[in-house]
Amino acid sequence: MSIESFGAWFVISNVGLVAATILAAFAFFHPRVLKSPAWRATVTPLASIIGSGFLVVGPILAQAFGEAAWLAMAVLCAAGYLHGEAIRHNIRHVPPGSFALPPAARLIERASDLTLSLAYFVSVAYYLNLFAAFSMRIVGVEDRFTVQVVASIAIAAFGAVGFYGGLRALERLEAEAVGFKLSVIAGIVVALVLFAFTAHLPEAPIASHAGTDEFRTLLGLIILVQGFETSRYLGAEYDAETRIRTMRRAQWIATLVYVVFVFLITHLFHDGPVGPGGETAIIDMLRPVGVAVAPLLIAAALASQSSAAVADMTGASGLLAEVSRGRLPVKAGNLVTALAAIGITWGADIYEIILYASKAFVVYYALQSLQATLSSLRRKRRIDAVLFASGVLIAIAVVLLGKPVAG
């Protein structure tokens, strides 16, 4: 392709990127969408599932699996969907806090609640520390103390919004952040399609091998598609069937976004090794697609981290209210979560402790899959029991073998 022809298609991809982003934004920010209870219930799990992961997963999978990266992504989403099915089963058949549950089921619930609450506290701190670090790097400030101060202010602000405005106020923040993020992703996908059809991209790289390390990397990346569990703890606002339906919808939307995105960007990966968490790698990969990619991706990254933090704060406050059997209201739960996250911000290296939080989420999935297995056996649903038991085995494999990647 000549330089002139390439320049013309470069302009086309830029126009497509901006136009698609704007059109998608009109859809996601339409008043009917923002006010829709079904969309609000979908946004909470979706905000966590499509967190910062969509920025880092492409380069990592392209490096490990080459042209099969999109298949590896599909496997990750399938594993997440399996754990989601276990949680959906529990929403319907194992109501938390019920005294009618057998002793073993109550013990599993208590262990699940403890594990998830700790993971949520760390997750909120992590997301907003990452948000603060990213924001400060834009203006050239990188010292840890400043990042801690900005992160603490952000955490306190979200906690105050949740305390005074409750779940509805946090959901409005989430809906806007997720709407913006999905608009940017839609724009980038359209630009990638235009670029792929016009710029005669080279073949996707073929991974030199896919051995034990690549398998462990894939297991560790399962954490990038977590977040759907937040639906289980929105019982104060939505009935069980609404939470089940919107949780499933969130996972299907996330699967579509992840698989299509990874498939399209794999052709642009031709650099050296990429370390986990490298948002700049994806920006460099997409630079040929359009000049608007970098600023839009940075904005989407900030939206991802803030919306994921809000989603986990929402989940944590709902969980605390449920565990306390309503003695601690959801609004107060937001404040407790914020205080815990601020304490973690100042008392720990957030980039190390997030690895343990990642495994805590997977332990929670193992416990919930075990709960669903036992419930299915009690109901004489043996096929379901086998399915959920496989979810337990996958979670155990992730804890023992996976290389955690924060997302």
- Asked whether residue 371 is domain-assigned, the answer is yes
- Asked whether residue 278 is domain-assigned, the answer is yes
Q: How far apart are CA 22 and CA 350, in angstroms?
A: 35
- What pLDDT is recorded for position 279? 45
Q: How far apart are CA 2 and CA 4, in angstroms?
A: 5
pLDDT confidence bin for 73, thresholds 50/70/90: very high
The count of structural domains within the chain is 1
For residue 28, give its domain range.
3-121+168-287+355-401
pLDDT averaged over every residue in the chain: 79
- Asked whether residue 136 is domain-assigned, the answer is no
Q: How far apart are CA 171 and CA 36, in angstroms?
A: 11
- Asked whether residue 303 is domain-assigned, the answer is no
Amino acid of residue 382: R
- Asked whether residue 296 is domain-assigned, the answer is no
pLDDT confidence bin for 273, thresholds 50/70/90: very low
Find the radius of gyration of the CA atoms of the chain: 21
In the block, which residue shows the tokens 């494999």?
A: 397
pTM summary value? 0.81
pLDDT confidence bin for 10, thresholds 50/70/90: low
- What pLDDT is recorded for position 17? 80
Residue 276's contacts (CB-CB under 8 Å, 6 or more residues apart) are: 56, 60, 403, 405, 406
pLDDT > 80? residue 176: no
Amino acid of residue 178: V
- Asked whether residue 212 is domain-assigned, the answer is yes
Contact 191, 185 (CB under 8 A): no
3-class state of residue 227 by DSSP: coil
Least confidently predicted of 187-191, 217-221, 265-269, 345-349:
265-269
- Asked whether residue 298 is domain-assigned, the answer is no
Q: How far apart are CA 248 and CA 86, in angstroms?
A: 11
Both tokens of 181, joined, read 């993020």
Summarize pLDDT for 297-322 with one digit per residue, the tens: 777 777 777 777 877 887 788 788 77
Q: Which of 78, 52, 8 lies closest to 312, judged by CA?
A: 52
Q: Report, as an integer, the average pLDDT of 259-273.
A: 73
In the block, which residue shows the tokens 């079904």?
A: 38
Q: Which of 89-98, 234-243, 341-350 has the highest mean pLDDT?
A: 234-243
Q: How far is CA 382 from the centre of its chain?
A: 31
Burial class for 102, CB neighbours closer than 10 Å (0-12, 13-18, 19+):
exposed
